[in-house]
Structure formats: structure tokens, C-alpha cells
Structure 1
């Protein structure tokens, strides 16, 4: 990936993507946020059970953020994810440039057989992700790599810092409005800085040979 990103034309084609869950109660999705400490705090935090939530998708390029897209379903499935790609994201990407490289992580909805067939047919050697025996991806993606995508190391933390401020949103509609407003504050200069940070994250992973990294 680092070698490929040395080509500025490849960097301009690359689209990272991810989903995150926003709970009305302020509960943070453990898959998008990592908290590190030198010792066990032994603290107990009470959280509302089955708090209303919205599942949100975004994609990010070197110069543009696509989204947010709000899934109607309580749980993102392979079918709903594929529908979103076909009907919402890929038409937007094609309108900007038909020559793009799409990245996704190894989340269960992304492993749907129909989805992988679609990516193999429509984006042959132009997608990055978890690959099966018959996959024709450009690269495979590490199965546990939350610090390698701009969505994880920048986007979701940035948005949640602006959504979950006192007083917390009282309704799902207000939650969605705050997410929209937070996304609107991300400009082209911020995205360029994030892209520069990406190379650093990749380099740390390379130097440690993929070992566990507590913080960057």
C-alpha cells in the first residue's frame, strides 16, 4: 500500500469506507474507538440498554467525503450494504471519476457472497478488502486494522466529539442532524492532512511488522 501511494495518481483514486453506530445514549461503538490506560481503572459505567441508534456509512477520498448515509435497518446486512453501494455510493463515485479504487474492511456484511461477486465483476482488481479464494481484489486488507483507515483514526472520533456534547441529543432526529452538521465541517484541507497522516500509520504498521500497537 505504501508503494502504491507513492504514485499520486493512485492516491487520488483511493476511497476508504466504513460504518459506525451512533447511540442516542452516547454509548461508543468499541469497534471504532480504542481507549488505552497504563492500569485498570476498575470503574463501572452504566449504559442504557437498547438505546435508540443509527447506523451510519461514510466514504473518504483525498479531497472529498461521501456521506453520511443512514441505514434504515437496525442492523446492517450484506443485502442492505450492497444496495447502498449500488444505489448510492458507486453512482456518486462514478459521477466524479469512473476510475476509483474502493476499500472496505472485513466486517460481516462485507463478506456477503453476492457483494463479493458484485465487486469482483464490477471492480475487478479495483477493490481492497477481505478476499475469498475466488477474489480478484487489488490488495487484501488486514483483518484487524482499526488504526489504518482514515475513517477509524480520524473521521468517527472527530464526528462523535461534536455529536456527543452536552446536552446530549434527545431524539434520533436530533442525533442525525448533529451528525450531518459535524460532517459539514470537514473541508478539503483537513482531508489532505488526514491523507498525510495515513502514510505515518502505514509506516508504523510496517516497522512493527503488523504487531500490536497501543497508540500512535
Structure 2
């Protein structure tokens, strides 16, 4: 609730949204497993449904950032696990170079995933964008505001981008190797045009209002 109130207050400045960059990672499995946490089966009775998962399914971890005008990415992480160091390397060597090529006055958002909470990542953000980043923070961090723990799907990546990409990637015949999977991901992301981004950003203020109406509770089903 505090985050929603703060965000609405900042959005009174018309230039705020145009400076905001949302970011997120997602995992894509060759098996076609969709790991979005907002995939639910809702009903009035227990469905008695069994969901089978393939253990250790080959996967690729993907990062994207989204502004009002463009999608930055995809960036494919090497290996099966994203660490604080690999995340920091991506920020330093790829993302911030791309963002600064477009503007030096952006506001960067990240969620509370463990790699984002790495001390070196926090130090980098405090130095590079003091008072211009949003994320999980400590008492000494120079963040614009804190990202709420276990937040509902408030960002463009959560309620729009990853669902759009996975809906386009996992169309039969499913990809059979990493090159095919990465090509599909890249093609889907490149197909996101400006009008789609504008409509998605218009949804952001709606999601903020709904989260406030829900008392800060989950809103994915609304």
C-alpha cells in the first residue's frame, strides 16, 4: 500500500513514467514448462488435478527491461543459475550501456530476487544512479523507494511481456534445442511494437489502483 501511494504521488510528475525502466528475468524450458507464478486453476471445488513436472529440464534464463518506448533485450545468461556477480556483469557491460545511449536520466527498477540483493549490485546502483533506482534496499542504500516484498504483478514484464513471449514461443512444434528456443524468444520480443507498449503502460496505473483497492493483496486474478 505504501509503495502504491508513493508511486501515484510520483506519477503526478508527467515526466516520471517516461523515465521509468522496469526489468525482470524469466526462465524458459525446452520442455515447454511455463513457470509464471500467476498460472492458476480456479474453481469452486477441488479439481483433483495432477501436474507433472520434468526434473532438471534444460532451460535458459532471460533478462529484459522495458521503457515506454522500447524493450531492451533479450539478454541470455550463461549457465542455469543467475548469481549476484553474473547479474552485476550484465548491468555493467550491457544494460546500463544501452540505457545511457538513450538517456542519462532514467529510473531503474528491479525486484527483490536474491541476485539483485547482492552487496556489489547495491553498491553499483548507489554509485551509478543514486536516488534513481527502485528495489529491495537497506538503510544506507540511495534508492528512490523500496520495491515491496512479494509484490503482485505490477510491472510490464510481469503482466504483459513474459506471458506474450511464452504464448508465442510454445506453439507446436515446440523448440527442440537452445538455438531454436533463443531464436523464438528474440523474434517474439522484437515483435513488440510501440503501440503495444503504450497500452501496457496505460495498464500500469490501473494495476496500482487495483492493488490499493485489494489492500495490497494479490491482484493477478482480477
From 109, 114, 117, the equivalent of 1:111 is 117
Partner of 2:73: 67
| Deviation for aligned residue 1:206 | 1.4
* Deviations 1:127-153, CA, capped at 9 Å, x for gaps: 001011211100111111241111000
Listed as ranges, the gaps of 5+ residues in structure 2 are 1-6
Partner of 1:35: 40
Structure 2 contact 154–208 (Cα < 8 Å) conserved: yes
* Deviations 1:138-193, CA, capped at 9 Å, x for gaps: 01111112411110000000000000011110111111010011111100010000
Structure 1 contact 36–214 (Cα < 8 Å) conserved: no
Using structure 1 for the length normalisation, give the TM-score.
Answer: 0.96
Q: How far apart are the structure 2 equivalents of 1:36 and 1:45?
A: 11
Structure 1 contact 120–135 (Cα < 8 Å) conserved: yes
Q: Partner of 1:8: helix, strand, or coil?
A: coil
Structure 2 contact 153–220 (Cα < 8 Å) conserved: no
Count residues in correspondence. 215
Q: How far apart are the structure 1 equivalents of 2:148 and 2:46?
A: 29
Bigger Cα displacement from structure 2, 133-142 vs 203-212: 203-212
CA RMSD of aligned residues (A): 1.2
Bigger Cα displacement from structure 2, 201-210 vs 89-98: 201-210
Q: How far apart are the structure 1 equivalents of 2:160 and 2:46?
A: 26
From 195, 199, 203, the equivalent of 1:193 is 199
Using structure 2 for the length normalisation, give the TM-score.
Answer: 0.93
Partner of 2:127: 121
Bigger Cα displacement from structure 2, 154-163 vs 200-209: 200-209
Q: How far apart are the structure 1 equivalents of 2:54 and 2:214?
A: 39
Q: Partner of 1:68: helix, strand, or coil?
A: strand
